[in-house]
Structure formats: C-alpha cells, structure tokens
C-alpha cells in the first residue's frame, strides 16, 4: 500500500496527539507543507498523492526534530504573526499570540496621532516593528537589539516586507544603542523584554529551552530589564508619550509601582487570551 499525503497526515496527527502536542493536526500539516514546499490547502487537494520513499524519510526526520523539543518555527524557518509571515531562526524568540495584543494596543494609541516616531527595545525577529510599520504608515520606527544575529533576522524580514526605509535598526543594550544620535524624542516606546525569572527558565517546556535565553531571562525577579527601561524611558518620550510593555502574568503590580516612581501618571493593564494581565501601557 502506498502512503499518501492524507494517510501520513492522519497517522502523524494521531502520533503527535499521543505525545502530548496540543495542535497535533496543525503541526503535522505545517511540517508536511514545509517538506513539500507548498501550502496547507494544497495538502487537502493532493491528499491522494503518494509520497516517495525519500519524502517519507525526510518527513520522519522532521517529526524527530519536533519531538526532540525544537520549536516548529525553527524547523520550518517561518512563523505567522498577525497578518504576515516572518523568517524565524534559533537566534530569535518565536512570536506568540500574546504579543499581538501589545501591537494592537500600540496601534490604538498611535492612530489618533497621525504621524510620529516609535522606539522598540528588544526587536528580535522584528515582527513588532514591522507590524507597526504596516499598520501605521506615517510613523518612523527605530528598533534596538543586543544581538547582532537577531538584528540580521529583523533586517531580512524588513527587506521582505519592503520596510527598510521606515525602520532603522541599532545594535546595543537598550537605550545605549542610541548613543551618538541626537537625543531622539518618541511618541511611544514599545518592548517585549525578557521577563522570566532566571530560576524559572530551567523549568520551562523543552521547546522554550531551545529559544535564546538572553531574550527570556529577566534577572532574579524577572523585572530587572523592565526596571531599566522604566528608569530611562521618560527622557526619550514626548510630553504626551507612552511606554507599552509585555510582561509576566504576575508582574503588573510591581510594574505599576515602577511606572509611578518613574513619573508616569497613568498605568493601564490589558489581559492576554487566557485572561492574565499581559500588557502594561504607561502614560505621562
């Protein structure tokens, strides 16, 4: 009996489900689409297409990689975020749905302004900066990251999206990356910073362990990087500017205190799709 696309997908989805992968069918399809260099719709159209011995062997290798804990996005080298697809490598975090909320809140804040300049700290793959550039065509964006390898990924993504003229990338540690520039003033500062306490990282899921720890580790309390951002942010903001941060589910009370101490007058909290506090917006 020849193994067809449809048969192999069904068996792989069952296998993944038994191994505890939640989106078992979706993951099986995305790996198959990656293998065959096609899209998921084509898998249904070509469900009766027999797979060659070489293709089956290659698919088994992809399955082994996934079950070893490698994130799906690192295997397929791409990930969808909001309305677009992005290149992803092991040098950057895998974009998560929670971060879409951060982008949506920033867009809501910026649209009434018409135009302006934004700063993203810790851009990683560039998905936040690029999404904001798509949604806010009259805004210029500066994006900073400590990792040169991450900035290469971000710059490549910006080029694919034809946004290299709108986004400037800087390598360095938070605001220090802007040293040497005329003191820029921003309508808003955005960050999805490292916010996981150092001691918690070894307990995270295997696939998260594959992601760059520098982008995860928020220091002993988890908010060390956030505190550093808070301490300097007001010097870079316009008088009616804002700071928008993604954070850990239990960190908002500490962030609110830091924000008030830094001079922000209003601190708002927004929940993620699971109902946890996940995004803080601090206004002057």
Q: Which of 33, 68, 103 is the last residue of a domain?
A: 68
Q: What is the domain-level CATH number for residue 58?
A: 1.10.8.10
Q: Is residue 145 part of a domain?
A: yes
Q: Provide the pLDDT for residue 205.
A: 87
Q: Provide the pLDDT for residue 1.
A: 63
Q: Provide the pLDDT for residue 164.
A: 95
pLDDT average, residue stretch 215-241: 95
Q: Provide the pLDDT for residue 180.
A: 80
Asked if the model's pLDDT at residue 156 lies above 80, the reply is yes
Asked if the model's pLDDT at residue 35 lies above 80, the reply is yes
Same-domain pairing of 102 and 58: no
Confidence of residue 167 (pLDDT cuts 50, 70, 90): very high
Q: Which of 68, 100, 121 is the last residue of a domain?
A: 68
Same-domain pairing of 183 and 276: yes
Same-domain pairing of 56 and 97: no
Same-domain pairing of 118 and 239: yes
Asked if the model's pLDDT at residue 61 lies above 70, the reply is yes
Same-domain pairing of 202 and 258: yes
Q: Provide the pLDDT for residue 211.
A: 92
Same-domain pairing of 133 and 49: no
Q: Is residue 56 part of a domain?
A: yes
pLDDT average, residue stretch 10-25: 91
Same-domain pairing of 84 and 29: no
pLDDT average, residue stretch 204-208: 87
- Pairing of the two strands 167-171 and 139-145: parallel
Q: Is residue 271 part of a domain?
A: yes
Q: Provide the pLDDT for residue 125.
A: 97
Same-domain pairing of 60 and 91: no
Rounded mean pLDDT of the chain? 94
Same-domain pairing of 198 and 258: yes
Give the Cα separation of 144 and 119 in Å (integer). 8
Asked if the model's pLDDT at residue 178 lies above 70, the reply is yes
Task: Report the b/e string of 116-149 with b at 16+ CB within 10 A.
Answer: bebbbbbbbbbbbbbbbbbbbeebbbbbbbbbee
Q: Is residue 183 part of a domain?
A: yes
Q: Is residue 73 part of a domain?
A: no
What predicted TM-score, i.e. pTM, was given to this entire model? 0.90
pLDDT average, residue stretch 127-140: 97
Number of structural domains in the chain: 2
Same-domain pairing of 95 and 54: no
Same-domain pairing of 92 and 143: yes
Residue 240 is part of which domain span?
Answer: 78-283
| Closest C-alpha to 225, from 198, 249, 205, 200 | 198
Q: What is the domain-level CATH number for residue 208?
A: 3.40.50.150
Asked if the model's pLDDT at residue 183 lies above 90, the reply is no
Same-domain pairing of 84 and 47: no
Dihedrals phi, psi of 270, to nearest 5 degrees: -130, 140
pLDDT digits (tens, 9 = 90+) for 85-124: 999 999 999 999 999 999 999 999 999 998 999 999 999 9
Give the Cα separation of 59 and 4 in Å (integer). 12
204 vs 130, which has greater pLDDT? 130
Q: Is residue 63 part of a domain?
A: yes
Please state, for a pLDDT cut of 70, what percent of the chain lies above it: 100
Q: Which of 29, 50, 68 is the last residue of a domain?
A: 68
Asked if the model's pLDDT at residue 142 lies above 90, the reply is yes
């Amino acid at each position: 009996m020849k193994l067809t696309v449809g048969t192999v997908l069904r068996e792989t989805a069952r296998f993944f489900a038994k191994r505890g992968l939640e989106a078992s069918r979706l993951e099986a399809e995305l790996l198959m689409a990656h293998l065959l260099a096609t899209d998921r719709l084509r898998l249904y159209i070509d469900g009766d297409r027999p797979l060659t011995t070489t293709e089956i062997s290659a698919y088994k290798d992809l399955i082994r990689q996934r079950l070893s804990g490698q994130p799906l996005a690192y295997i397929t080298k791409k990930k969808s975020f909001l309305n677009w697809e992005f290149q992803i490598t092991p040098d950057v975090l895998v974009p998560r749905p929670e971060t879409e909320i951060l982008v949506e809140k920033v867009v809501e804040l910026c649209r009434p302004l018409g135009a302006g300049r934004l700063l993203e700290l810790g851009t990683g793959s560039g998905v936040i900066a690029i999404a904001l550039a798509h949604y806010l065509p009259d805004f210029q964006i500066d994006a900073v990251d400590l990792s040169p390898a991450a900035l290469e990924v971000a710059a490549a993504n910006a080029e694919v999206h034809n946004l290299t003229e709108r986004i400037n990338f800087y390598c360095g540690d938070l605001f220090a990356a802007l040293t040497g520039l005329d003191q820029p003033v921003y309508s808003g500062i955005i960050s999805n910073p490292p916010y996981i306490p150092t001691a918690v990282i070894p307990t995270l899921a295997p696939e998260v362990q594959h992601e760059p720890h520098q982008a995860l580790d928020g220091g002993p309390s988890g908010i060390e990087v956030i505190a550093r951002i808070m301490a300097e942010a007001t010097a870079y903001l316009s008088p009616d500017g804002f700071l928008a941060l993604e954070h850990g589910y239990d960190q908002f009370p500490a962030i609110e205190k830091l924000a008030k101490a830094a001079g922000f007058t209003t601190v708002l909290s927004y929940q993620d799709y699971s109902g946890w506090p996940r995004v803080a917006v601090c206004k002057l």
